[in-house]
Amino acid sequence: MFEQVQQDLRGVRQVFATSRRHWTTGRQLRSKWRAAQEAGERIVLDDFGPPIPSPGPDEPIADFSPKTGVKDRKSHLMTLDEYPSINYAFEVKNPPVSGNHINGLGETEHRRASPIFHTWQFGHPMGKLEFLFQGIRSETEWIALLKRQWLSRRFSGEKSDVQVPVDDPAAMTEQIKQLTRDAGAVMVGIAPLTEDMLKEEHPFDYPHVISFGVQMDREAALQAPSEHAGLTIQSEYRATDRISAAVAKHIREMGWDAEAAIHSLIQIPAAIEAGLGQLGKHGSMISKELGSMYRLGAIVTNLPLVLDSPEDIGVDDFCARCQVCTTNCPPHAIFDTKQMVRGRERWYVDFDTCIPYFVENHGCGICIGVCPWSEPGRGEAFSIKQLALRKKRAEAAKEN
Ligand code: SF4
Ligand code: SF4
């Protein structure tokens, strides 16, 4: 009881701090940005928010301009008559160090990812863009965000003093997966937690991660970018927060450590290791069940569980020949070929090009809406076809 009161007080403090930050920083910026949008002018972001670090002598600076020379397409699936313009109502006179450099684009050594956006600290290199992103939220969006803040008080807590022994990890795994599905998850898997799934400053305390996905509202997602799509995403994130908090609490009540891994974990690598899908060219995971129409959540724990493993469903082969997301991305941020990032060859989205469009429109997600795998009922068939084609090609190569 005492612990619950403490958790609630923590939640009130968080909500209060977030609101205060918003009211003191956001209102003035929002009105200036809206006026600039209407007048077809630009505000200079350098004039707002805390100072940000200047690039070092050997560090590349960010280029926020949209790319040119790529074919433009507008998918008939997306509901807006046309995509919002790539002429932004803001500019940055002194660009910071490139986000791609921070992300490790071109680096051949493996390392953990560094936090770069959604940090709420604003003193980081992308702080000016994040300051604008947080500042221009509508009141309705703001309330949705505060609801998530309030939920976050339940992400961790004390475990029971009495530990339930786990004699049959397979049965326990099934029980936990069923609990997660009953709470609203459509897909769930277990992966070993590895250090590189955690953001740089977070400790590595647990052996396992339970990764799950809830279904996105496709109709709302196809209206992106729009306030309705953004609000729907907030409510979907709230659903993943609720499931994570409930499953973590259940495990703690059995006397094992567990916490909802919302802010510490990089969700996509964990979900891929848990067998939920594969990385697509658009930088999101693609699953057989939902394509990219899901939101991920996770719980880290030391409860003994049986691990799943990554599954090859043929996404790589498909993406190598598809350009739907690259041509539909308005600022053309999606690389058409795999890039070396922190020691691994992988699909990659140019951070410096995507983020300004994302900020100006207060969210985007066109790339996941247009992906053919996101069309209901198509993923399973795509997977079967890609794997069969690959087998056929391998057999033909053997014969030659
Ligand atoms: S739209 Fe095409 S290329 Fe892009 S992620 Fe989906 S399948 Fe891959
Ligand atoms: S969210 Fe996707 S479509 Fe939108 S700008 Fe970024 S990469 Fe492009």
Residue ranges per structural domain of the chain:
1-399
Question: What mean pLDDT is predicted for residues 120-128?
Answer: 89
* Residue 263 pLDDT exceeds 90: no
> Scanning the structure block, which residue is given the tokens 């990554």?
310
Q: Which of 144-158, 210-224, 285-299, 341-355 has the lowest mean pLDDT?
A: 144-158
Q: What is the pLDDT of residue 16?
A: 63
DSSP code of residue 58: T
Contact predicate 266/185, CB 8 Å: no
Task: Return the ligand 2 atom nearest residue 349 CA.
Answer: 7
Q: Could you give the CA distance from residue 49 to residue 35 in angstroms, rounded to a whole number?
A: 19
Name the percent of the chain lying above pLDDT 70.
Answer: 94
Q: What is the pLDDT of residue 28?
A: 79
Higher pLDDT, 150 or 59: 59
Q: What is the pLDDT of residue 245?
A: 96
Contact predicate 67/330, CB 8 Å: no
Q: Could you give the CA distance from residue 141 to residue 201 in angstroms, rounded to a whole number?
A: 28
Q: How far is the CA of 328 from the centre of ligand 2 (A)?
A: 9
Q: What is the mean pLDDT of the chain?
A: 92
Q: What is the pLDDT of residue 118?
A: 87
What's at 109, amino acid-wise? Answer: E
Q: What is the pLDDT of residue 292?
A: 97
Closest CA to 368 of 330, 325, 326: 325
Ligand nearest to the CA of 382: 1
* Residue 11 pLDDT exceeds 70: no
Q: What is the pLDDT of residue 24?
A: 62
Pocket test for ligand 1, best of 75, 284, 325 (most atoms within 8 A of CB): 325
224 lines ligand 2 (CB under 6 A): no
* Residue 284 pLDDT exceeds 90: yes
Number of helices and strands in the chain (H, E): 13, 10
Rg (CA), the chain: 22
354 lines ligand 2 (CB under 6 A): yes
Q: Could you give the CA distance from residue 113 to residue 223 in angstroms, rounded to a whole number?
A: 31
> Scanning the structure block, which residue is given the tokens 């339940």?
154
Q: How far is the CA of 321 from the centre of ligand 1 (A)?
A: 9
> Scanning the structure block, which residue is given the tokens 């955690």?
198
For the stretch 39-57, pLDDT in tens is: 999 999 998 888 999 999 9
**What burial class does residue 373 get, using C-beta atoms within 10 Å of its C-beta: 0-12 exposed, 13-18 middle, 19+ buried?**
buried
Q: How far is the CA of 124 from the centre of ligand 2 (A)?
A: 22
Cα torsion for 109, 110, 116, 120, to the nearest 10°? -140
Q: Could you give the CA distance from residue 215 to residue 335 in angstroms, rounded to a whole number?
A: 27
Q: What is the pLDDT of residue 17?
A: 66
Closest CA to 314 of 378, 227, 233: 378
Task: Return the ligand 1 atom nearest residue 291 CA.
Answer: 6
* Residue 201 pLDDT exceeds 80: no
Binding-site residues, ligand 1, Cβ < 6 A: 280-282, 318-319, 322, 324-325, 371-373
Question: What mean pLDDT is predicted for residues 238-261?
Answer: 97
> Scanning the structure block, which residue is given the tokens 């995509």?
83
Q: Could you give the CA distance from residue 134 to residue 212 in angstroms, rounded to a whole number?
A: 27
